[in-house]
């Protein structure tokens, strides 16, 4: 199999029944996903010898495939087993991004919907260091999250990410690292790359899932850990004003787990004690027997 030679981090890809080193080409110019967007993926992590919630991520990619009209080909347990085999191919020094994917090769009626019988699967693992927990800045994006009536927001679908990308790029053009992205009603949904939390008077708030953003696995895990540690946690509709008035803001996501926000618009913030505790609780859980048995 041909491997595209690019300057990339160490990469291994499982496709068509075997492992291949490097950036393996998987689509042609007539592949349905190439021009009509029928692709889904998920992201899990290996770091410090652990792979927290790997099974949940593997199960979600199968649900995402079904949501886009494709046929999941791999059982959750098969994806987990492949991922565990794949990480053994690395030197164990750098965090690894674990990305199972499905896409359609052919279209159905008039080519527009995917043909579920043409679904293909691959699993790509590549080195990707986590960002430091020193924090990042956000601005309010002029772009909005779509609703379930307009886009497959119940799936981790590739077609959703150009919208996130333009939100991040627009924020960066104004000197920020990331963006707060609103829903169609003008309430905060997420950042351009992660779920988002605020702390006010000791209580933790996060936007209630309303069908406009993916309610993340790391988000749910963090909520549960904080509640179990005695914090009051609330999912509710939150405005930009709520975030501008927050004592702390932090984000959760698969890429770097828990990271504080240290500037929102022109207001500087310090990494706060709740964000530090959330990260500490996540790391403790990820290295616990409970996590390894999940």
**Residue 259 sits in the same domain as residue 168:** yes
Identify the pLDDT of residue 3.
53
Q: Is residue 6 part of a domain?
A: no
Identify the pLDDT of residue 1.
56
Q: Is residue 281 part of a domain?
A: yes
Q: Which of 97, 127, 157 is the last residue of a domain?
A: 127
**Residue 284 sits in the same domain as residue 245:** yes
Confidence of residue 109 (pLDDT cuts 50, 70, 90): confident
Identify the pLDDT of residue 8.
80
Is-contact 26 104, C-beta < 8 A?
Answer: no
Confidence of residue 294 (pLDDT cuts 50, 70, 90): low
Contacts of 237 (CB under 8 A, 6+ apart): 187, 207, 208, 210
Identify the pLDDT of residue 293.
63
- Tell me the pLDDT tens digit for each residue of 275-284: 999 999 999 9
**Residue 121 sits in the same domain as residue 173:** no
Identify the pLDDT of residue 7.
59
Q: The domain spanning residue 31 has which CATH number?
A: 3.30.470.10
Q: Which residue range forms the structural domain that includes residue 20?
A: 11-127
Confidence of residue 6 (pLDDT cuts 50, 70, 90): low
Identify the pLDDT of residue 290.
85
Tokens 């790997």 — which residue? 54
**Residue 181 sits in the same domain as residue 285:** yes
For residue 280, what are the CA distances in angstroms to 16, 233, 254, 273, 286?
40, 17, 15, 10, 10
**Residue 94 sits in the same domain as residue 172:** no
Structural domains counted in the chain: 2
Q: How many CA atoms lie within 13 A of 86 on its CB side?
A: 33
Q: Is residue 141 part of a domain?
A: yes
Decide: pTM greater than 0.85: yes
Identify the pLDDT of residue 54.
97
- Tell me the pLDDT tens digit for each residue of 92-104: 999 999 999 999 9
- Kindly tell me if the per-residue pLDDT of 292 is higher than 80: no
Identify the pLDDT of residue 22.
93
Q: Which of 100, 127, 154 is the last residue of a domain?
A: 127
Confidence of residue 137 (pLDDT cuts 50, 70, 90): very high
- Tell me the pLDDT tens digit for each residue of 76-93: 999 999 999 999 999 999
Give the residue among 195, 237, 188 at the shortest CA–CA distance from 219: 195
**Residue 158 sits in the same domain as residue 57:** no
Angle subtended at Cα 75 by Cα 71 and Cα 79, rounded to the nearest 5 degrees: 110
Identify the pLDDT of residue 5.
53
Identify the pLDDT of residue 190.
98
Averaged pLDDT for residues 130-150? 95
- Kindly tell me if the per-residue pLDDT of 132 is higher than 90: no
Is-contact 235 207, C-beta < 8 A?
Answer: yes
Distance CA 45, CA 254 (A): 7
């Amino acid at each position: 199999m041909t491997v595209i030679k690019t300057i990339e981090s160490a990469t291994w890809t499982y496709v068509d029944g075997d492992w291949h080193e490097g950036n393996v080409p998987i689509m042609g110019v007539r592949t349905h996903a190439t021009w009509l967007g029928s692709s889904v993926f998920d992201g899990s992590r290996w770091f410090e010898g652990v792979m927290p919630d790997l099974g949940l991520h593997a199960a979600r990619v199968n649900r995402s495939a079904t949501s886009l009209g494709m046929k999941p080909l791999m059982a959750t347990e098969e994806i987990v087993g492949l991922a565990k085999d794949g990480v053994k191919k690395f030197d164990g020094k750098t965090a690894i991004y674990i990305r199972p994917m499905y896409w359609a090769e052919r279209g159905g009626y008039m080519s527009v919907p995917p043909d579920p019988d043409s679904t293909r699967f691959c699993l790509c693992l590549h080195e990707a260091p986590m960002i430091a927990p020193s924090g990042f800045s956000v601005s309010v994006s002029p772009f909005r999250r779509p609703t379930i009536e307009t886009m497959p927001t119940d799936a981790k679908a590739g077609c959703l990410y150009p919208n996130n990308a333009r939100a991040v790029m627009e924020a960066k053009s104004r000197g920020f690292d990331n963006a707060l992205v609103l829903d169609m009603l003008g309430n905060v949904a997420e950042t351009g790359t992660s779920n988002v939390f605020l702390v006010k008077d000791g209580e933790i708030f996060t936007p209630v899932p309303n069908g406009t953003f993916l309610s993340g696995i790391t988000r749910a895990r963090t909520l549960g850990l904080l509640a179990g540690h005695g914090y009051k946690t609330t999912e509710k509709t939150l405005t930009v004003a709520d975030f501008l008035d927050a004592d702390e803001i932090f984000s959760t996501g698969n890429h770097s787990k828990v990271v504080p926000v240290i500037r929102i618009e022109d207001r500087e913030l310090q990494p706060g004690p709740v964000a530090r505790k959330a990260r500490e609780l996540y790391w403790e859980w990820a290295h616990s027997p409970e996590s390894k048995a999940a």
